[in-house]
Chains A and B, each alone.
Chain A
Amino acid sequence: MSVGPFGTALVVVLATGIAVLATRWLPRADGPPPTAPERIPFLGGGVPEVHAWSRFHIRYYAMALLFLAFDMEMVFMYPWAVVFAAEGAIALMEMLMFITILLLGILYAWREGALSWAS
């Protein structure tokens, strides 16, 4: 039975995922249920005072925002790649301008130090 390539891909994903879950759950775990100390997260001998889940500060937030804009750019580039050869030099020029404009954005981000964050 043919379900088309996308249907097949979906079946493959589900089958792989189920196989992985089965491999995770199947091995014998014939030990006793874990005690409280056995469940303490590893800190090299220390005991955590608080939950690790917290307002985790990502220092690369500016880069993350930059990524959002760049991600949009990809949407334009895929269809462009398909028709590029047919459209010819015009398409190349358009893309060059598009790319240059975006590189300006990276340049600005770099100059502003948005890509590095520590200390």
Chain B
Amino acid sequence: MGLLTSAASRAEVPVFPVVGAGGREAAEALWLLPGVRMVDTPRAAAVLVVIGRLTRALLQPVLLVHDQMPGPRATLWWPVDGRPADDGTDGDEGLLAALPDVVTTTAGDAAGLRAVFADLLAGRRPWGPPALADIESPRWRGVGPYGHGGEGMMGGVPYGRPFAEMAQDPDGLMLDQLPLQIGPLFPALPPGLVLHLGLQGDVIRGVTLGDNPYRSWPGDPPVGPLDSVPFLDARTSPTTVAALEVARARHHLRWLARTLRLHGLDARGRRIAALAGGLSATDRPAVEALARRLGRDRGLAGATAGVGVADQATLEPLGIELAGGPVARAAGVAIDARTDDPAYAGLDFEPVVHHGGDARARLRQRVAEAAQALALAERAGDAVRSPGPPVEGPRGPLAPGRTMPSSSLIHLLPTLLDGQEWGDAVTTVASLDLDLEEAAVDQSATAWPQTPTGTSTASTRTP
């Protein structure tokens, strides 16, 4: 092994994560692993880590992203939820088998990941053959007057793709608009979010939501959405208020960490993610100090102020205004299920409210709620909340038979994103704290504004 190879195999492992069903928490842990670096594009990655269960809808994108890694490349599978690699009932193994040479390791196992990486560079593992067949579509070689598929000025399929078509622009011009499908594996969007949009320059024109890839997961939600689990449990079984509130603070801090990373503050995000990982009620002063610091952070304020304004008028048609949740409270709606919850009666609870309804208000809202949650946890002591009234989850109220918050919030996207610059759109999506798995839990989410999913539960079961 040459010096160069030896040095290369000790580099931080560039990893592109694929968040399957139930994999969001482990993906967060991946970010904090020492010796591992999450990268923004598969072109920079050497290892693809599939976390949780692949779904049929995720398969094609995963195969494509695998092939977009330059190589040498390896694929790891991190099972979550303690299930065996092959439970013999569904198509997981069948789906994974479409990827070449998948290594299964324990979720969060940095040593295993590094070992695979070192083997790869030392030539002890295969180079990583492509997963997709080498077929060009459509055919263009030898087609047309120049043999490159194009014809005339703007006609044909030069080198396999047609030209973009024109569309009206708000500046009064007719200019090209790129029809794009972004996601479900776009690292700056929540895992699983698929957006169909037109991009005119760097501005988005017309957004429709794509199919939720987690919906095709067969059966009842076995894993449940990340972080919401204690809140979902609280619907049906007694929970201590302190546990609920610490979980809320942790959820908001994790969201904050991811958001900071999106704004170019990876290191600050890591610090907060590490804080969130071991959070307890005694961290209240730290979180309050954090809230104060972020309130003074002019850079972050500038990056979020006025972006993605979801005011009460925008929220109303979707019923979010009356449901509450941080997004509504950031728009000045003082509704919180905890107000009427007897478990909070003696805790002096007042909903935190911000105004403006933009990304900055939502950021401040969540950080303030995190600090408030830890204060409540301190005050609550051993108080136990008995099931019955709706639970105020970190994204909104949860109650049996009620729409999950993410499935309502996601319908804000077409309105909010239209006309936004791409970077602002990413900020807006992040500020809504969407969880596609949570949206998938909800049966009422079948009414997607777009074409219905092609895959039924039955067809997903057969590999």
Chain A residues with CB under 8 Å of chain B are: 31, 35-38, 40, 42-52, 54-59, 118-119
* A51 / chain B contacts, CB cutoff of 8 Å: 158-159, 161-164
* A38 / chain B contacts, CB cutoff of 8 Å: 67-68, 130
A40, A43, A50, A57: which contacts B175 (Cβ < 8 A)? A57
A57–B200 CB distance below 8 A: yes
From residue B175, how far is it (CB to closest CB) to chain A in Å? 5
22 cross-chain CB contacts under 8 A: A31-B71, A35-B67, A36-B137, A37-B130, A37-B132, A43-B182, A44-B61, A44-B65, A44-B185, A44-B186, A45-B183, A49-B180, A51-B162, A52-B178, A54-B176, A54-B178, A55-B175, A56-B176, A57-B169, A57-B173, A57-B201, A118-B420
* B43 / chain A contacts, CB cutoff of 8 Å: 42
Size class of the B contact interface (CB-based, 8 Å): 35 or more
Q: Give A31 to B166 CA distance when docked, in angstroms.
A: 39
User: Is B390 located at the chain interface by the 8 A CB criterion?
Assistant: no
From residue A112, how far is it (CB to closest CB) to chain B in Å? 14
* A119 / chain B contacts, CB cutoff of 8 Å: 419-420
B64–A55 CB distance below 8 A: no
* A48 / chain B contacts, CB cutoff of 8 Å: 161, 178, 180
Given contacts A37-B67, A57-B201, contact A50 B179 (CB under 8 A): yes
A45–B72 CB distance below 8 A: no
Chain B residues with CB under 8 Å of chain A are: 41-43, 60-65, 67-68, 70-72, 127, 130-137, 158-166, 169, 171, 173, 175-176, 178-187, 189, 194, 200-203, 419-421, 424
B201–A49 CB distance below 8 A: no
Given A42-B68, A50-B179, 18 other A-B residues pairs in contact with their CB atoms under 8 A: A31-B72, A36-B134, A37-B64, A37-B131, A38-B68, A42-B43, A45-B61, A45-B65, A45-B186, A45-B194, A48-B178, A48-B180, A49-B179, A50-B165, A54-B176, A56-B176, A59-B201, A59-B203
* B132 / chain A contacts, CB cutoff of 8 Å: 35, 37
B201–A43 CB distance below 8 A: no
Given contacts A54-B178, A119-B420, contact A44 B189 (CB under 8 A): yes
The residue in B159, B184, B201 that gathers the most chain A C-beta atoms within 10 A of its C-beta is B201
* B165 / chain A contacts, CB cutoff of 8 Å: 50
B183 closest partner in A (C-beta) = A44
* B200 / chain A contacts, CB cutoff of 8 Å: 57
Q: Give A56 to B184 CA distance when docked, in angstroms.
A: 25
